[in-house]
Amino acid sequence: MGEEFYCVLKLVSGEEIFSLIMVDENEGDPIIILQNPVIMKAFQNHQGMHLKVKPWIETSTDDLYMIKLDKVITMTESKDEHLISIYENYIQDEDDDSIEVHHPGGRVKPSSKMGYVGSVEDARKSLERIFKDLKES
């Protein structure tokens, strides 16, 4: 087995994957082993340029995947510290904050972990109070 390195792969399917990889020289038929592969999409809005990161295979719980070299158009090692940092933070956050859905009908009750901090009624009262204070000053 070779050394691990961060890599961007372009597959024959058209997908672009970022992952920590290792190449296994399997008797002349190399296999690429991907650890926590993700898809990164760049987009721009009024706040600037952003990267959207999502798992390569969204419904799997596996961390390691194997691809034969004939499924790869090109691959390049990435030494971009910013990209690697985004990848590592995403992997760390994914491990820490997983939300399990085991509720009837697939519904999940909102919690403070998801950003749920109050009710609509509480928000309305708070905004009315702020508005009244601004009006009086």
Burial grade of 17 (CB within 10 A; 0-12, 13-18, 19 or more) = buried
pTM recorded for the entire structure:
0.63
Task: Return the SS3 of 71.
Answer: helix
Q: Which of 92, 91, 33 is nearest to 64 (CA)?
A: 33
Q: What's the confidence (pLDDT) of residue 116?
A: 61
Q: Which amino acid is at 103?
A: H
Residue-wise pLDDT for 74-104, tens only, equals 999 999 898 898 899 888 877 654 444 444 5
Residue-wise pLDDT for 13-26, tens only, equals 999 999 999 998 87
For the chain, the domains span 1-98
CATH code of the domain occupying 1-98:
2.30.30.100
Of 7 and 136, more confident: 7
